[in-house]
Amino acid sequence: MLIGLGLGPGNPELLTLRAVRLLREADIVFVPGRIARDLVAPYRDATVLNFPMTDDKSKIRKCLEENAEKIAPAALNGLAVFGILGDPNFFSTFSRLCTILSERYPSIKYCTEPGISSITAFAAASGISLNGGFIVSDGEEPDSRILLKVRHPKEKAVELRREGYCEFVLVERMYFPDMKVYRNEDLPEKSDYLSVMYARR
């Protein structure tokens, strides 16, 4: 099993309680550099993997393949944790790493555990309140949207399809004991106030 673990924005006190528990329970912890290593150091020793900052796609692929081979034995035989600054689902290398692991080791199961993302950390650090809608991008044209408090998801999906969106996921009462996840044609007519909807073109 491999877990992509969010370590938050850079302060050890901003790790979640679940992150601390998983760091302690893991058979081995991997991190992508010194900053992440220092973040987990109060709780656990970690193996540092090299992920060079480059736009060369062939070098990126080679690096991911090499690191996948280092992670695979631990993930096949126990619990491996890969700690990442911020959140592992926001502009991180974890999804690309899992794509390669899936190609080479399809029996390895993986999941992610959220951390405080740079988006929410930025709002706190800068003292601004993000009450209206906003766009987050890495410079590319956004191809997805996230909507909060969606009370009529099926109706909203019909509306978004007219704008070119075709893939939908709704998470209702996220991380509560009665959490539900709906996809595409399974979207309900009505949903709880605590609902988040994802739409992708």
Measured CA to CA in angstroms, residue 84 lies from 37, 39, 61, 95 at distances of: 10, 10, 18, 12
Determine the pLDDT at residue 133.
85
What pLDDT does residue 68 have?
94
Domain count, the chain: 2
Euclidean distance between CA atoms 153 and 147, whole angstroms: 10
* Residue 27 forms part of a structural domain: yes
End-to-end CA distance of the chain: 31
In the chain, count H helices and then E strands: 6, 9
What token pair was written down for 191? 């949903």
Instruction: Give the whole-angstrom CA distance, residue 22 versus residue 11.
Output: 17
In a domain, 125, yes or no: no
* Residues 109 and 60 both lie in one domain: yes
Which tens digit of pLDDT belongs to each residue from 140-192?
888 999 999 999 999 999 999 999 999 999 999 999 999 999 999 899 999 99
Q: Which domain holds residue 189?
A: 144-200
Which pLDDT score is estimated for 32?
A: 93
- In the prediction, which pLDDT does 130 show? 83
Residues 176 and 94 reside in one and the same domain: no
pLDDT on residue 131: 85
Structure tokens of 14? 């901003």
Last residue of a domain, one of 76, 102, 119: 119
110 and 19 within one domain: yes
Residues 48 and 112 in one domain: yes
Neighbours of 153 (CB within 10 A): 23
Ranges in the chain, pLDDT < 50: none
Please tell me the predicted confidence (pLDDT) of residue 132: 81
> How far is 31 from 38, CA to CA, in rounded Å?
10
pLDDT for the residue 76? 95
Same domain, 25 and 109: yes
Instruction: Choose the final residue of a domain: 85, 119, 153.
Output: 119
- For residues 138 and 61, give the distance between their C-alpha atoms in angstroms, rounded to a whole number: 20
Say if residue 82 is in the same domain as residue 178. no
In this structure, the strands spanning 28-31 and 47-48 are parallel
Provide the pLDDT for residue 136.
Answer: 84
Assess whether 111 and 153 both reside in one domain: no
In a domain, 136, yes or no: no
Alpha-carbon span 8 to 39, nearest angstrom = 9
Q: Does the residue 191 lie in any domain?
A: yes
Query: Are 99 and 190 found together in one domain?
Result: no
Radius of gyration of the chain (CA): 18
Beta-ladder partners of 168 = 199
Q: What is the CATH number of the domain that holds 94?
A: 3.40.1010.10
